Amino acid sequence: MKFSVSTGDVTKAKSDLMMVLVNKEFAKDQNFKTLDKKLGTLLTQLLKRENFEGKWGQSKVVISHKKIPALYAGVFGLGDKDKIEYECLRKAGGRISKIASQLKTKKITLGLKFGNLALKDPAKIAQALGEGLILATYEFLRYKKKSKNSFYLEEVSLIIDDSKKISFLKKGFEKAVALGAGIFLARDLINTTANHMTPMELSRSARGLKGVKTRILGSAEIKRLKMGSYLGVAQGSKNPPAFIEMHYKPSGKSKTHVALVGKGITFDSGGLSLKPPKQMETMKDDMSGAAAVIGLMSVISRLAPKVEVWGYVAAAENMPDASAIRPGDIITSMKGKTIEVLNTDAEGRLTLIDAMTYAQKRKPTYMIDCATLTGACLVALGDRISGIMGNDEKLIESLISCGKDAGEKMWQLPLAEDYKDELKSPIADYKNVGSGYGGTITAGLFLQEFVEPKVKWAHIDIAGPSWSDKSRDYESIGGTGVLVRTYAEFLERLSK
């Protein structure tokens, strides 16, 4: 998608669709007044009849009848000026993109007066708007032909009232285009069925990324590293595991080193602790954490953060083969700690701890793991909010703040010391599940046992937001690519 930014009279722009973005005081908006005048007050009449108040999401589109160069003209409400956040603009972009698609328009012009917003960062304004416009065009077409009715937005022109902001807005759109590509890749990886997205296939998607050095370890090397916990999960599948290590190094010197660890279970049957059939239907998404890390790393050279970033994925498939790990088995992690496996469907944490142990050998400043780890998190927070916990409050607060700007909400859960007893085993150092209550917290506590004291660590459970059962604003049904935007925002802030 191409973006351009300029100043001038929005009603004179040549495009298929022209829309004015307004807040609740739209009657005072100069763009709106100019457009309404050229349409012979048609908009005012229609908006009054339909009780248009400029609330977020309210919109109206009419045929221009050649009174302006654009075929269609309209207005989109953003709501109260002081309540308009970046996510409001992102969702607005998604809605407008879908309006454009319905009208079969390839080129649109948007008019925006900065006085309509309380937001002050023009780059972030453009980034959020651009992300929504781009992401709403996503369609997964690997297994079917493109519909003859599909029509995608190709060009967006933003006309503003302050020429000093143009360069910042262009940078914001450039970042939106880059992140859009990363999120599209993440969504494709998640949506690809497990018979095609095997651990080895997932590892291939991490090869050849621009500005990133990638190393893939096979079963023999994983065994040599004594990743017994990871191998314990992988041994039940005919598809061998693949450990993925990605490295981005900025052009200048950096004292900050970020390790991103993503859960990469390409299909989770539950193992011998078999899931009910209905729960297995979407288990191709159990590598959404890996998709977020690979999606980010695929565009990290375009984002060019000034910090060193390592990405890790312990890719495996959790299957109930004759050689699968059994409930009651004892396995030994890379750290040397023994684990009593009481539930083979609590496998993600077993792969993560060995990946985290490996990652910490490089002594990262920050380590963040993300995983579709517990159904308990989905029950607690629903499908729009991720759970977050960790050992460093400033890191957690920063990630929550980044998530807010990125439109990826998080809620902090406690790592309650009282719950550690849930992980005690009479025959091993730990057991892999608790009693069943507070499952997200006990999973976090289990991971914490494998975090070195000096490492600032956060765990993000994306069990809910990783998948969408319905189309929303800029999301389509299927994998969402959640956390790519949050990670990008986090790295940008660290770069300042």
Residue 120: φ, ψ to 5°: -110, -15
Sign of CA dihedral 128, 134, 155, 492: positive
**495: which 2 tokens?**
């770069």
For the beta carbon of residue 322, count every other beta carbon within 10 angstroms. Answer: 5
Residue 222 DSSP label: H
**319: which 2 tokens?**
């299957």
**Separation of alpha carbons 33 and 395, rounded Å:** 46
**Separation of alpha carbons 11 and 289, rounded Å:** 45
**Whole-model pTM above 0.85?**
yes
Contacts of 412 (CB under 8 A, 6+ apart): 387, 388, 389, 396, 400
For the beta carbon of residue 340, count every other beta carbon within 10 angstroms. Answer: 20
**Separation of alpha carbons 285 and 480, rounded Å:** 10
**Separation of alpha carbons 320 and 403, rounded Å:** 37
35 SS3 class: helix
Sign of CA dihedral 139, 142, 147, 150: positive
Of residues 12, 60, 249, 275, which has the active-site annotation?
275
Strand-pair partners of 73? 18, 62
Backbone angle region of 59, left / alpha / beta, with phi > 0 → left and psi within -120 to 50 → alpha: beta
Q: Do residues 188 and 287 lie in contact, with contact meaning Cβ atoms separated by under 8 Å? A: no
Of residues 349, 409, 431, 485, which has the active-site annotation?
349
Distance of CA 86 to CAs 190, 412, 474, Å?
26, 21, 13
For the beta carbon of residue 407, count every other beta carbon within 10 angstroms. Answer: 23
pLDDT given at position 448: 99
pLDDT given at position 145: 82
Find, among 120, 115, 137, the residue nearest to 172 by Cα.
120
**Separation of alpha carbons 186 and 220, rounded Å:** 28
Pairing outcome for strands 107-112 and 17-22: parallel
Q: Do residues 161 and 2 lie in contact, with contact meaning Cβ atoms separated by under 8 Å? A: no
- Catalytic residue list contains 349: yes
Q: Do residues 265 and 317 lie in contact, with contact meaning Cβ atoms separated by under 8 Å? A: yes
Residues in the chain: 496
Domains of the chain: 2-180 (3.40.220.10), 192-495 (3.40.630.10)
pLDDT tens for the 496 residues of the chain, in order: 999 999 999 999 999 999 999 999 999 999 999 999 999 999 999 999 999 999 999 999 999 999 999 999 999 999 999 999 999 999 999 999 999 999 999 999 999 999 999 999 999 999 999 999 999 999 999 998 877 667 779 999 999 999 999 999 999 999 999 999 999 999 999 999 999 999 999 999 999 999 999 999 999 999 999 999 999 999 999 999 999 999 999 998 999 999 999 999 999 999 999 999 999 999 999 999 999 999 999 999 999 999 999 999 999 999 999 999 999 999 999 999 999 999 999 999 999 999 999 999 999 999 999 999 999 999 999 999 999 999 999 999 999 999 999 999 999 999 999 999 999 999 999 999 998 899 999 999 999 999 999 999 999 999 999 999 999 999 999 999 999 999 999 999 999 9
If you compute the radius of gyration of the chain from its CA atoms, what whole number of angstroms results? 24
**11: which 2 tokens?**
């009603």
Find, among 67, 146, 58, 150, the residue nearest to 106 by Cα.
150
